[in-house]
């Protein structure tokens, strides 16, 4: 464990040598290699048939990489040595993304720079975050175990099928924040990721691989531990729609993660929301919309995308999504001091959300500052007052707990801060 010297505010910023924590990750992957990770069972079956192997070999590979989390072809012992060698000689490797650097917060949050080098793509790092106990962002959405702050109700877990038996308690509870692109093209004025511009899309294997790498690191037991996924890291998932949804299907169908424990956040890409509305319920995450402003006038200053798709057009698209029983749409709302955090803004947001007629909740996020971004954090008290106004208007509203502030809290901040 060594202190990371080149950062401001480094007292609690700790960089770990990730290689100590990621056994089996030593091989790296050459840019010209062909990754198996990212292919689904059907693809792997086709691959095996194409090299003259029986189809069940494809299922064995899927089992090894998505359920046993094997990272080296040589370790897939269900395959014959000859087949393993044949695949390596043909340039195949598992090629799962690798956790390259680890930053630990005093609050238990871990941030990772994850190296992605899928064939054909430039080698890039993206940011993934592990937040033990969640960040409260999942409160009150009605489909999973809830940290119910408002009424102190007991945890509900009626739909995920996970054990609620106290004799066999779930061991871990956490949220993983996942990136969908390297950088982002949407250019929201308050967001550090925007400063990177869009570098490239991530592949399905690079998106799902962030999740598996982190589950592996924490020895998560799927179906027992309560781990939520939020696609709220770097990038706009709905501007990388096909790869994003392919990653979701890998995680659901190959690894058996529950779609009801997944939330995708979009800045309001209407064609993406319309496609999302066509996805079968059992193969789609829950939906969060980054509202971030009480009206179009303010929103278009903060989020230029609002010129293309205004609040009404986003809400119209959201209405097309057929919700599960008790599912709610989440509206995310970043509070910017003096800009979006005033009492009249709260009243306007309450009216706006009520007018949509959607089963909805609001997640409030106090803005996380970043270098060169000309906004300020909300005043102490403003956040709670804002929440109170919404709750009194009958809108469920929750505060996203700031996590890992000492290691650059907002998703997307780390890469920018560490790599400049």
Active site residues: 127, 411
* Rounded CA separation 121/291 (Å): 32
Query: Is position 265 an interface residue for ligand SAH (rule: CB under 6 A)?
Result: yes
3-class secondary structure, 234: coil
Q: Per rule CB under 6 A, is residue 294 in the interface with ligand SF4? A: no
Regarding 201 and contact with ligand SF4 (CB under 6 A), the answer is no
Closest separation in Å from C-beta 314 to ligand SF4: 13
**332 interface partner picked from ligand SF4, ligand SAH, none, CB below 5 to 8 A per type:** ligand SAH
Closest distance of CB 330 from ligand SF4, Å = 14
> How big is the CA angle at 38 (ends 275 and 145), to the nearest 5 degrees?
65
Nearer to ligand SAH, 204 or 237 (CB): 237
**Which burial class, exposed, middle or buried, applies to 152 when counting CB atoms under 10 A from its CB (0-12, 13-18, 19+)?**
exposed
Residues 357-386: x where in contact with ligand SAH by CB under 6 A, - otherwise, as a string: --------x-xx-x----------------
At 13, list the tokens: 């910023």
Q: Closest separation between CB of residue 293 and ligand SAH, Å?
A: 10
**Is 198 or 382 the residue whose CB approaches ligand SF4 more closely?**
198
Using alpha carbons, list the distances in angstroms from residue 323 to 90, 182, 216, 230, 276.
45, 30, 31, 18, 12
56 vs 67: CA distance, rounded Å: 16
188 binds ligand SF4 (CB under 6 A): yes
228 makes contact, choosing from ligand SF4, ligand SAH, none, with CB < 5 to 8 Å by partner type, with: none
- What is residue 55's DSSP assignment? T
Return the closest-CA partner of residue 144 out of 46, 59, 64, 261: 261
CA distance 300 to 366: 19
**Contact call for residue 266 and ligand SAH (CB under 6 A):** yes
Q: Is 226 exposed, middle or buried (0-12, 13-18, 19+ CB in 10 A)?
A: buried
CB atoms within 10 A of CB 29: 22
Cα 255 from Cα 351, distance rounded (Å): 41
Q: Smallest distance, Å, CB 289 to ligand SAH?
A: 7
Q: Is 186 in the site for ligand SF4 (CB under 6 A)?
A: yes
- Residue span binding ligand SF4 (CB under 6 A) among the ranges 29-37, 103-111, 153-161, 183-191: 183-191
Structural tokens at position 388 = 């109170």
Verify binding: residue 270, ligand SF4, rule CB under 6 A. no
Please report whether residue 232 would count as binding ligand SAH according to CB under 6 A. yes
Please report whether residue 267 would count as binding ligand SF4 according to CB under 6 A.
Answer: yes
Min dist CB 339 to ligand SAH, Å, is 12
Question: Residue for token digits 């990177």?
Answer: 196
| Residue 126 makes contact with ligand SF4 by CB under 6 A | no
Q: Which stretch binds ligand SAH (CB under 6 A): 47-55, 151-159, 187-195, 345-353?
A: 187-195
Instruction: Write out the E strands in 260-416.
Output: 262-266, 286-290, 329-335, 360-366, 397-399
User: Which 290-309 positions form the footprint of ligand SAH (CB under 6 A)?
Assistant: 290, 292
End-to-end alpha carbon distance in the chain: 22
Q: Taking CB under 6 A as the rule, does residue 289 contact ligand SF4? A: no
Which of 236, 254, 327, 341: binder of ligand SAH (CB under 6 A)? 236
Contact stretch for ligand SAH (CB under 6 A) within 113-121, 156-164, 186-194, 388-396: 186-194
The dihedral over CA atoms of 259, 177, 112, 122, expressed in degrees to the nearest 10, equals 80
Residue 246: contacted member of ligand SAH, ligand SF4, none (CB under 5 to 8 Å, by partner type): none
Tracing tokens 């829950």 back to the chain, one arrives at 286
* Binding partner of 18, given ligand SF4, ligand SAH, none, CB within 5-8 angstroms per partner class: none
CB burial string 171-180: b at 16+ within 10 A, e below:
ebbbbbbbbb
When asked if residue 184 is in the footprint of ligand SF4 (CB under 6 A), the reply is yes
Chain residues that interact with ligand SF4, rule: CB under 6 A: 184, 186-188, 191, 193-194, 235-236, 267, 290, 412
Binding residues for ligand SAH, per CB under 6 A?
A: 190-192, 232, 236, 265-267, 290, 292, 332, 334, 365, 367-368, 370, 410-411
């Amino acid at each position: 464990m060594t202190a990371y010297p080149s950062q401001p505010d480094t007292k609690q910023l700790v960089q770990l040598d990730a290689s100590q924590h990621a056994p089996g990750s030593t091989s790296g992957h050459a840019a010209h290699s062909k990754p198996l990770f990212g292919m689904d069972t059907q693809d792997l079956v086709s691959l095996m048939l194409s090299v003259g192997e029986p189809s069940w070999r494809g299922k064995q590979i899927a089992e090894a990489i998505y359920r046993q989390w094997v990272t080296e072809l040589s370790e897939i012992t269900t395959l014959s040595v000859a087949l393993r060698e044949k695949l390596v000689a043909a340039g195949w490797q598992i090629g799962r993304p690798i956790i390259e650097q680890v930053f630990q917060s005093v609050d238990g949050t871990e941030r990772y720079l994850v190296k992605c080098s899928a064939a054909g793509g430039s080698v890039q790092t993206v940011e993934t975050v592990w937040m033990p106990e969640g960040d409260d962002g999942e409160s009150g959405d009605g489909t999973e175990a809830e940290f119910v702050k408002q009424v102190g109700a007991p945890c509900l877990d009626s739909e995920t099928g996970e054990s609620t038996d106290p004799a066999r308690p779930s061991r871990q509870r956490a949220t993983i924040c996942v990136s969908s692109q390297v950088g982002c093209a949407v250019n929201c004025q308050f967001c550090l990721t925007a400063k990177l511009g869009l570098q490239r899309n991530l592949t399905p294997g690079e998106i799902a691989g962030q999740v598996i790498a982190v589950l592996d690191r924490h020895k998560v037991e799927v179906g027992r531990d309560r781990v939520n996924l939020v696609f709220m890291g770097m990038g706009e998932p709905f501007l990388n729609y096909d790869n994003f949804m392919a990653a979701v299907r890998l995680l659901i169908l190959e690894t058996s993660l529950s779609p009801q424990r997944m939330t995708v956040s979009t800045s309001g890409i209407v064609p993406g929301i319309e496609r999302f509305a066509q996805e079968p319920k059992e193969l789609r995450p829950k939906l969060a919309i980054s509202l971030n402003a009480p009206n179009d006038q303010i929103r278009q200053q903060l989020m230029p995308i609002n010129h293309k798709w205004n609040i009404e057009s986003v809400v119209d698209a959201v209405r097309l999504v057929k919700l599960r029983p008790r599912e709610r749409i989440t509206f995310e709302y970043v509070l910017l001091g003096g800009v979006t955090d005033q009492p009249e803004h709260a009243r306007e947001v309450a009216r706006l959300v009520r007018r949509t007629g959607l089963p909805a909740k609001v997640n409030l996020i106090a803005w996380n500052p970043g270098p060169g971004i000309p906004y300020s954090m909300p005043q102490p008290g403003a956040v709670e007052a804002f929440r109170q106004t919404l709750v009194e208007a009958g809108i469920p509203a929750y505060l996203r707990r700031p996590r890992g502030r000492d290691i650059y809290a907002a998703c997307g901040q780390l890469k920018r801060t560490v790599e400049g």
